[in-house]
Amino acid sequence: MESDYIRRILSASVYDIAVETPLERMERLSERLGIDVLLKREDLQPVFSFKIRGAYNRIAALTGEQRASGVICASAGNHAQGVALSAARLGTRAVIVMPKTTPSIKIEAVRAMSGEVVLFGDNFDAARAHAGEIAEQERLIFVHPFDDPDVIAGQATIGVELLRQHSGPLGAIYVPVGGGGLAAGIAAYVKFLRPEVKVIGVEPEDAASMKAAIAAGHPVTLDRVGIFADGVAVRRVGDETFRLCNALLDGIVTVTTDEICAAIKDIFDDTRAIAEPAGALALAGLRRHVADGAAPAGPLLAINSGANVNFDRLRHVAERAEIGERGEALLAVTIPEQPGSYKAFIRLLGDRAITEFNYRYATGSTAQIFVGVKLKGGDREKQQILDLLAGEGLSVVDMTDNELAKLHVRYMVGGRAADAEDEVLYRFQFPERPRALLDFLEGLQPDWNISLFHYRNHGSDYGRVLAGIQVPVAERQAFLAALDRLGYDYSEETANPAYRLFLDSRGA
């Protein structure tokens, strides 16, 4: 039966609309990892995703009578755009059922391609069921996003291009897995021509439906899936895609959200392109295999499957990328609640760059701080820091892989401090150099207690700092003179209503 797929793949109609995308060497990542890393740029397709290949091949294979009836699909993302554009090119009516929660940018993109958008339900399952009802009522042809031989064959044309573009030795091809259509198609072709080349599927840890299916010996429905990599957030893989992947894949590797974010950054660093989370998934799996020593010898290839990412998600991606590449440690540290403790803590860290520092004065003998530290030596350096702090008698908890801390708690450190008398609030811009924080602390009088501190380095030349400092009214002029000597840009925010409402012990 696999030979039938080879015929389908070689005769697939995709290039009336799709383009042959380049295969590029990732120079920076290759140098860092010490291996050749190649990236297939499916983000350069007309709809910025590989999905156009399978959608067009499926619709092009319909009879004239079927095309006259029109097609329908259920999708909130790349498949919707692929079907809409393919149908428009082939002169076929296309109805696209999308959940009501679909971002407006994706709805408008489909409408711009002449797709008839139907908004229904709050999730994909509801939209899929409604699409089935409409298909039956209006006698439309349902275009499945992955579990269809023509869709699988269309996606597999990527494999044809890969082996033509790189005819030399090749260790492995890493492929993102959602429903399994892309992985099934590439594996069918590559294993037929180059059985020695490993084909590895990659899934998010919180949406590993193919891994669960292979473990069970049949497709299973996951109770829930994470939606960060929404392009592969599939609760159940297809029957046909499972059959092919179970027989042909050489393994499945799962990755975290942080690792996906780090891979997005790697792609940007090498290409200046911004991949969607599902688009960077395969590269994240490649990196995970290399880190674990599980990658086969030879050049390694990853598919960048798409670039349809909402701009507002980039803030979260940037926040998590440093952790994903083990370039930042997040620590909860208990220090004595007394003047000078903060300065002593910063001195312990030496020249290491502080990426974040959250603290609010509270009554009691100890203070809890949330601190980020930039790492050059990955987990080994992080352990050295943990050992150093513990050796000084400080209680420290590693929060680097604590999802609750990363998503919520880091932004909630604070509140009103009932005993923070004579507190003034200032914003500063600190130059990004190792001693900037320590110079600031040493420029203040020891009895000017820091009662609030928030600092976060967002990768610019200056770090933005918010600090509350207890300065008696009689010493305010001396305090301002000390700030002027430091030379850092500053402005007072004591009267700011945001401070008064949420942080000031005196209330609004």
CA 125 to chain centre: 24
For residue 409, the tally of other CB atoms under 10 A from its CB is 15
**Catalytic-role residue among 13, 40, 49, 51:** 51
* Rounded-to-integer distance, Cα 172 and Cα 189, Å: 14
For residue 134, the tally of other CB atoms under 10 A from its CB is 17
**Buried residues in 174-209 as b, exposed as e (16+ CB within 10 A):** bbbbbbbbbbbbbbbbbbeebeebbbbbbbbebbbb
Whether 305 is catalytic: yes
Closest to 148 measured CA to CA, from 210, 238, 63: 238
Contact 225, 258 (CB under 8 A): no
**Catalytic-role residue among 49, 75, 305, 341:** 305
Closest to 1 measured CA to CA, from 251, 240, 249, 250: 240
For 234-326, strand residue ranges (E) read 251-255, 300-304
Contact 119, 112 (CB under 8 A): no
Backbone angles phi, psi at 243, to 5 degrees: -55, -45
List the end-to-end C-alpha distance of the chain, in Å, as a whole number: 74
Half-sphere exposure of 75 (CA within 13 A, CB side): 28
What is the identity of the amino acid at 82? G
Whether 51 is catalytic: yes
Q: What residues act catalytically?
A: 51, 305
